[in-house]
Structures are given as structure tokens and as C-alpha cells.
Amino acid sequence: MTAHLKLSRRQFLAGSASVAVASQVGWMNALAAPLASGDYRALVCVFLFGGNDSNNMIVPTDTAGYAAYQAARGNSLTGGLSLAASSLTQLNGINFGLHPSLAPLADIWNQGKLAIQFNVGTLTAPTTMAQYQLNPGVRPLNLFSHADQQAQWQSAVSNQPPQNGWGGRIADLQGGISIPTVISVTGNNLFGNGASTTGLVVPDSGGFSIQGFGKSPSSNPIFSAYTQLLNAGSSNAEMAAAINVLQQGLNASSKLNPVLTGTSSVSSLFAGQNNTLARQLQQVAKMIESRNAIGAGRQIFFVSLGGFDTHNDQLNRQKALFDQVGPALKAFYDATVQLGVANNVTTFTQSDFTRTLQPASGGGSDHAWGGHHFVFGGAVKGGTYGAFPRLILGGPDDVTSEGRWLPTTSVDQMGATLASWYGVAAGDLGKVFPSLSAFPSSNMGYFG
């Protein structure tokens, strides 16, 4: 089924006003030198909304590490959250195992193409436990809040309310593009909107077209009216913004609708996965497969899955979610391999925060802070990165007594590593990640 863009007068004016500044600059004009070109590259952000409990995503399997994990999490038979050691999918070469529902990702690990970033989170600057306790000013704004931490992960701005996202700020650096650089398959979000560019939203199934453009101008008054408006131009900022919105929509529709409504050579890889994350990633795979027809040399995609706010019944709820995540991510990676672009596509996860190591009442867990994330793709140098926290309640890595990890790697550092691979010049990284200079390293080493 094709999704149509149909706006009320109020929605149209609101949308036009929101991009008035962008239209004055010009959505295809770069703020800085364009990114390096020549080879296609894409970043795919997979956001796990609600706060994914990464303490059960990757679990230590050595005797001492698992014992500490089980002691803090409690036995699942008595209301605790620990996974049975025998259920974990052991990862070759390291003393860690994956949640059993994420077993499909072990194959990517065995190929040396999966990186696991330990204990990454929102930070304003490198922070010690003493600084956290004595100087609340160093903490990210509204720490442990869903909305604020989601915005800070998407923006890489933790010391003030963010205005735009780091995906959008990368797009600000690009010029000469035929459609917006950032494409969301999961609705509007902060991540894809920059200071002078806006992202594009497409549906997770079906096509993308502006209603009424299926007929010729002679038989379609809507088409004729839009065409006259687009050709008229205007010195009025709001009218110019409206023209800009319509031009982007028409251009994107003409290029993307045939792709999204067409068939894909990799659709069989997603067979049997009738869930929103798999559908979103299949749409992304379609657009990557048709990158030449679209005219894209660099693309950034945003997909998501919600439901990770597991305050109760976490073991069952997270399993059901990971039953979607594991197969969908594996199918998408296999799609990039089949399309011959595995080296050109890097996928990574984000989430509001992880959850407390200590269980909460009702078989759930509470909001926490630093957690673990995946980065994978053909160009990725597999392995573990960063420092795994000591699983001790009230211990040296716990900012409370419930197992909330003080991050040792920042969103800025993780994001800058991805952006550098994508093609952002070292001198432009500070424009994308404003706090990056506060950290000792801008590259975590995921890429060889």
C-alpha cells in the first residue's frame, strides 16, 4: 500500500515555518566542504526505544564474572533477572555470551564483523565517580529521563536542550544530493534533522508518493497547482519554505516510490519476519540496492523498535523483543553481503540507557545509564571496545547502589568513530559533535 502525503492547512504552514531557515540557505547547499565521494557508504542507526537492558544482552561467561552477574541479578526462579549460563550463546575468543534470542548475531561475530562497545552513554565530559558525586553540574541534563536521554543519544548534546541531531548535522556537510541524506523508516525524530537540512520519513511498507501526482497535468488540477507554485518562487520566507517542502516531496517521491513499491532481490532473506523492525530494515535494503537509481553516494538511515521500558516481566518481554532484533539484524547484514555492499554499510544500535543490574519489583528493572551496543558491517573490525563495568552493586562503577554504570565511553566518541568512517573530515567532527574535544580520543577503533 502506498503512503500519501496529505497535509491540512495548519500542518502545511507549521511544516513550512519549521524549515524556513533551511530554505533560505538552500537544502542542497553545503555549510562546509562536501564529504569525500567516490564510494557509496551508509550508516544505519537502530534505536531501541525505552531503555534496553544490555546487562542481559551481553553477559560474562567466565566463572567469576558470571557469579558476580548472577549474585547481583538474582536467580530467575525466585524473581531475579539472571539468564541461565547454559542458555547463553558463547562468543568465540572472549568470555562473554549473547542473550539466546540474539544467537543469529554470533555468525557476524565469527566472521569478525561485529564490534561490541562496552559501557557507552551520554556524557558532557570524561567523568569520574568523585566528580559525579560532588559536582552535579557535570551530569547530563535530566539523567535517567526517557525523553531527554533519547534526545541526547540522537543529538550528542547533553549539556543543553538539543536543537538537532548528529545525523542531520552530518547531512548539513553534504551538498549536491538528489534526496535528503537522512531517511527515517520509523517516523519523525531528532536524529535526522540538522541546522540547515531536514530528514525524510518513509513508511515501513508500501510506497511513498504525494497524493494526486499519478495523473498528467492536463487532467489533474492538484498537479498543475503544485507545479505553478514551484515555478513561481518567492521572496517571502514562509512561501519560499513552502515551495522548498513541496519540491523536496515531489523529488523524493519520484525517486523513491518506484523503489519502495518494487521488488527486491534480497526480500527472501526476511521471509517469515512479520514485524516492524524487519519491515523497516527491508525498506532500507531496497533503497541501498537502488542507490544508483536514487543517485545517492552517502546515506544515513534511522530505524527503531520500541517496548524496552521493562519495569516488569522483563525476561519474557525482552526475549520477545530480541526474538525480532536478532533475526532482523542478521537478515539485514546478509542482505548487504548479497548486494555486494557489506563493506559500505555499517549498522549500529542506540537506546535511551541500559537498566539497573539489580532487579526491581515485578520482575523488571529501573532506568540506568551506561550500556553496551553493537556495531557491525563488512568494514568493521570485530571485537570488544571500551571497559566492561565491574558488576558490583554500589561498587566503583555504580553511581547508585542498584547497578547504574558510569559510562567510560561517550556517545560523542562512538558517533565520531562512525562519522569518520562515513567520510566526515577530522576538522568537521567538532561541528557534528560539539563536545568531542573534551574527550581524549575521537576514534574507538572499530574500523581497520
* Element containing residue 377 per DSSP (H, E): strand 371-377
Write down the residue that cell numbers 554499510 correspond to: 345
- Beta bridge partner(s), residue 322: none
- Cβ contacts of 294-297, under 8 Å, gap ≥ 24: 294/178, 294/179, 294/255, 294/256, 294/259, 295/177, 295/178, 295/179, 295/255, 296/40, 296/177, 296/178, 296/179, 297/37, 297/38, 297/39, 297/40, 297/41, 297/177
In tens digits, the chain (448 residues) has pLDDT values of: 444 443 333 333 333 333 333 333 333 333 334 455 458 999 999 999 999 999 999 999 999 999 999 999 999 888 899 999 999 999 999 999 999 999 999 999 999 999 999 999 999 999 999 999 999 999 999 999 999 999 999 999 999 999 999 999 999 999 657 789 999 999 999 999 999 999 999 999 988 776 655 544 455 666 667 667 677 666 777 777 777 766 777 778 888 999 999 999 999 999 999 999 999 999 999 999 999 999 889 999 999 999 999 999 999 999 999 999 999 999 999 999 999 999 999 999 999 999 999 999 999 999 999 999 999 999 999 999 999 999 999 999 999 999 999 999 999 999 999 999 999 999 999 999 999 999 999 999 999 8
50: region left, alpha or beta (phi > 0 left; psi from -120 to 50 alpha): left
- Cα 425 from Cα 416, distance rounded (Å): 10
Contact between residue 44 and residue 301 where contact means Cβ atoms under 8 Å apart? yes
Q: In terms of C-beta density within 10 A (0-12 exposed, 13-18 middle, 19 or more buried), how is residue 387 classed?
A: middle
